[in-house]
């Protein structure tokens, strides 16, 4: 029960890595806010946590909208009195080569994947500073934010920006006892990825030295470690959980 009595807010928690993280945190004793634009998916996760004896509530949110983010954080504090952990997991894709990418594609991904992380991080940090009891902010980066990727100018720019913000926030918030870290997943077998053609999945496995794709639970376990007191002297890092892809 490494997160006993902690209040954790997880965005994009209706599916994939976010869902796995919500379930893992709940099993470790946290009260979990399952935040997602898809409130049906979020409510399903809340119900699953409840069946397992955990405590959770749902928040429908578009992380790119400041008012919705503020309301989500306010509702969390109103319900449980505090906020200890934020996992900035929400994100989208809209891929195209540079010469074909529309401005709308660029802006949509930047809005959610970069602005959304900023808005949620800012709102959570304000609460955590006021509590004066420390806290943890965990940001979803990506290995592509470290080495780039074909057809993903928007996504790579956002994830590289998230890595930069993570290091900046670690410097700014450290004196308040707030730790800020990022996790950079590699090829992860989420629902979206598993729907890709078999030859693409085979390529992902081939490029991974460990010879398999990661699971959402692999990433959730990394978030759990960084959120726990076991990582109490770790801040400002980018933890690659990628089966060796960066190598």
* Tens of pLDDT, residues 152-189: 999 999 999 999 999 999 999 999 999 999 999 999 99
Helix (H, G, I), strand (E, B) or coil at 133: coil
**Mean of the pLDDT values across residues 89-118?**
97
- Whether the pLDDT of residue 247 is over 80: the answer is no
pLDDT above 70 covers what percent of the chain? 100
Q: Where are the domains of the chain?
A: 7-241
Dist CA 205 CA 163 (whole Å): 25
Give the residue ranges of DSSP H helices in the chain. Answer: 16-27, 39-51, 66-80, 103-110, 116-131, 144-147, 153-173, 191-194, 198-207, 216-227
User: Topology of 7-241 in CATH?
Assistant: Rossmann fold (3.40.50)
Q: Are 181 and 224 a contacting pair, CB within 8 Å?
A: no
* Strands, sheet with 7-11, edge to edge from the N-terminal-most edge strand: 55-60, 31-36, 7-11, 85-88, 135-140, 178-185, 238-241
Dist CA 6 CA 31 (whole Å): 6
The pTM assigned to this predicted structure is 0.96
Beta bridge partners of 185: 241
How does strand 31-36 pair with strand 55-60?
parallel
pLDDT above 90 covers what percent of the chain? 91
pLDDT band at 200 (very low <50, low <70, confident <90, very high): confident
155 is catalytic: yes
Read off the tokens for 154: 């928007």
**Mean of the pLDDT values across residues 224-247?**
96
**Mean of the pLDDT values across residues 203-217?**
93
pLDDT in tens, 31-57: 999 999 999 999 999 999 999 999 999
Dist CA 33 CA 204 (whole Å): 32
Q: What are phi and psi of 5, to 5 degrees?
A: 70, 10
Please pick, among 25, 106, 155, 169, the residue that the annotation labels catalytic: 155
**Mean of the pLDDT values across residues 102-129?**
98
Dist CA 56 CA 132 (whole Å): 24
Residues in CB range of 130: below 8 A, 6 or more apart: none
């Amino acid at each position: 029960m490494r997160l006993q009595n902690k209040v954790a807010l997880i965005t994009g928690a209706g599916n994939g890595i976010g869902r796995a993280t919500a379930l893992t945190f709940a099993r470790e004793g946290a009260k979990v806010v399952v935040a997602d634009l898809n409130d049906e998916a979020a409510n399903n996760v809340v119900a699953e946590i409840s069946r397992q004896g955990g405590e959770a509530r749902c928040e429908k949110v578009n992380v790119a909208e400041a008012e919705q983010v503020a309301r989500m954080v306010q509702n969390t504090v109103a319900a449980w009195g505090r906020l200890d952990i934020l996992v900035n997991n929400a994100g989208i894709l809209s891929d195209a080569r540079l010469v074909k990418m529309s401005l709308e594609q660029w802006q949509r991904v930047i809005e959610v994947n970069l602005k959304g992380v900023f808005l949620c991080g800012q709102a959570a940090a304000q609460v955590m500073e006021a509590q004066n009891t420390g806290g943890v902010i965990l940001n979803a980066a990506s290995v592509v934010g470290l080495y780039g990727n074909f057809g993903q100018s928007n996504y790579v720019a956002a994830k590289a920006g998230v890595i930069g913000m993570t290091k900046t926030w670690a410097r700014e918030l450290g004196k308040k006892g707030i730790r800020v870290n990022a996790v950079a997943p590699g090829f992860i077998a989420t629902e979206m990825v598993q729907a890709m053609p078999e030859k693409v999945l085979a390529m992902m496995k081939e490029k991974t030295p460990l010879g398999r794709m990661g699971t959402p639970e692999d990433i959730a376990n990394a978030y759990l470690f960084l959120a726990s007191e076991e990582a109490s002297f770790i801040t400002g890092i980018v933890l690659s959980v990628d089966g060796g892809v960066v190598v």
